[in-house]
Amino acid sequence: MVAAQADTRRQYTEADYTDFAHTGPGTLAGRFMRTFWQPVCCSQDLPPGRARPLHIMSEDFTLYRGESGKPHIVEFRCAHRGTQLSIGWVEGDCIRCAYHGWMYDDSGQCVEQPAEADSYAKRVRIESYPTEEYLGVIFGYFGEGEAPPLPRYPDFEEEGVLEVSTYVRNYNFFQSLENGGDYVHTAFAHGKRLRTPDGRWDIPELWLVESEWGRTETLRFPDGDEHLAQYGMPNIHNHPNGVRLTHDLRKRIDAELGRPLWKNMLAWRAVPIDDFSHRSFAVDLIRLTGDLADLYREYRAQSMVKQRHDAYDVGERVLAGDLTFDEVDTSSVALVNVGDYSTQRGQGLIADRTHERLGRSDVGVTLLRELWSREMRALAEGRPLKQWVRPPHLVPAEGHHERAGM
Ligand code: FES
Ligand SMILES: [Fe+2]
């Protein structure tokens, strides 16, 4: 954590307070992001005894799960001659380097060097980082000083089907984050030009306020449908959503429940891999139990098979001019995702925010930037940061919301 200590001595300029895109060591936005726990991997993607490289905010680490089942994060390279530790072997809760067999425990302490005298290992240590697992996601903390407690979401611990998913996109993370506060895009960027039956554009009115957690958004669409969304600093979206189902399955589930099915979504959109790519994580709780839960799981397994194409591949073809939104085969990929990908990647690898022409409807984007900028300035000046919390009144209420895929 040498780099993080050096950061605190750096002098920042006005330009740094609005540079949200760069999150590597030494950047202000990066230091701000590192004051929060970040998701690093879906639990299902890291079985016991496995290690993988972890790239986050332009830094490299080793993520592994001990044979005990506990996940750990240590430095990327072995202290001996610097090879990539993740290609080694997990033994108990230790990791052994593949090059000359040095072994480190989960605190990063070297505990064995097969070709050296016993006394040497004690003097060798690599960095380790706080790691926790919750709701099917592994989280890491990469900030300065002691890690705060990992935030909990009790409403996601309730009964139901918990779905955890992740995807990678090859453009800057802040574009994805801004998109979450952009409610005009849903009428266009999801690949259609949506109008209400009386011919108006399907664009909601929007009310925004800063909350204890980040930002509360109330949307009212022209047909009267209301949608409430919560945004949690620095990169979390939380809102109820409709659930994609076949017509018949929806009818059956709604009839048995006696109300429309909904899900609650918690999404980290997004976590920088580096300045030109990011990863998104989502945890969805679908409130079904028993037979209905089994039915839903079966349907999901089938519908996942049908989604043969990734939005990335199809979106790239749209960007290249080889395909239009109207020509996308929606039986094999969700048009919403293709549209979101193409429009955000279409802003460039890192969007140029100096030449924008923002309007009244961009208030979600401007509030996001204001919150970030205010906190980044406080961090640079050594003032206390706002302690963001999610009290019960910010938990989205159950309701019927058809407009999926913000
Ligand atoms: S490089 Fe790891 S043991 Fe030599
Ligand atoms: Fe979208």
Q: What is the mean pLDDT of residues 263-283?
A: 96
Closest ligand by atom to 181 CA: 2
What lies within 8 Å, CB to CB, of 330 at 6+ separation is: none
Nearest to 44 by CA among 138, 131, 139: 138
Higher pLDDT, residue 395 or 345: 345
User: Token digits for 207?
Assistant: 């009310």
Phi, psi for 341 (deg, rounded to 5):
-60, -50
Percent of the chain past pLDDT 70, that is, above it, reads 95
Q: What range defines the domain where residue 97 resides?
A: 44-149
Question: How many A from CA of 183 to the centre of ligand 2?
Answer: 8
The per-residue pLDDT for 127 is 98
Chain-wide mean pLDDT for the chain? 93
Tell me: pLDDT of 4 over 60.
no
**Is position 49 within any domain?**
yes
pLDDT digits (tens, 9 = 90+) for 41-88: 999 999 999 999 999 999 999 999 999 999 999 999 999 999 999 999
Longest dimension (CA), the chain: 82
pLDDT bin (cut points 50, 70, 90) of residue 292 is: very high
pLDDT digits (tens, 9 = 90+) for 95-110: 999 999 999 999 999 9
Q: What is the mean pLDDT of residues 204-222?
A: 94
The per-residue pLDDT for 397 is 74
Tell me: pLDDT of 2 over 50.
no
Tell me: pLDDT of 387 over 90.
yes
Q: For a ligand 1 pocket test, name from 77, 102, 112 the mutation site with the most ligand atoms within 8 angstroms of its C-beta.
A: 102
Domain final residue pick, 89, 124, 149: 149
Q: Is residue 252 located within the same domain as residue 354?
A: yes
Tell me: pLDDT of 227 over 90.
no
| Residue identifier of the C-alpha nearest atom 3 of ligand 1 | 100
Distance of CA 315 to the CA centre of its chain: 20
Higher pLDDT, residue 389 or 243: 389
Q: Is residue 58 located within the same domain as residue 169?
A: no
Q: Is residue 123 located within the same domain as residue 159?
A: no
Nearest to 223 by CA among 403, 370, 17: 403
For residue 234, count CB atoms less than 10 angstroms from its CB and return exposed for 0-12, middle for 13-18, buried for 19 or more: buried
The per-residue pLDDT for 404 is 43
Which of 182-196, 219-233, 305-319, 367-381 has the highest average model confidence (pLDDT)? 367-381
**Is position 79 within any domain?**
yes
* Cβ(393)–Cβ(216) below 8 Å: no
Q: Is 244 in the pocket of ligand 1 (CB under 6 A)?
A: no
Q: Is residue 174 located within the same domain as residue 102?
A: no
Q: How far apart are CA 89 and CA 92, in angstroms?
A: 10
* Cβ(68)–Cβ(80) below 8 Å: no
The per-residue pLDDT for 398 is 66
Q: Is residue 177 located within the same domain as residue 137?
A: no
User: Token digits for 10?
Assistant: 């750096």
**pTM of the full predicted structure?**
0.94
For ligand 2, a single-atom ion, which residues have Cβ within 5 Å?
A: 340
* Cβ(334)–Cβ(197) below 8 Å: no
Q: Is residue 108 located within the same domain as residue 143?
A: yes
Q: Is residue 101 located within the same domain as residue 135?
A: yes
Number of domains observed in the structure of the chain: 2
The per-residue pLDDT for 1 is 39
Give the residue carrying structure tokens 């960027």: 189
CATH number of the domain encompassing residue 376: 3.90.380.10
Q: What is the DSSP string of 349-406?
A: TTT-GGG----GGGHHHHHHHHHHHHHHHHHHTTPPPP-----GGGSPPP--------
Q: Is 177 in the pocket of ligand 1 (CB under 6 A)?
A: no
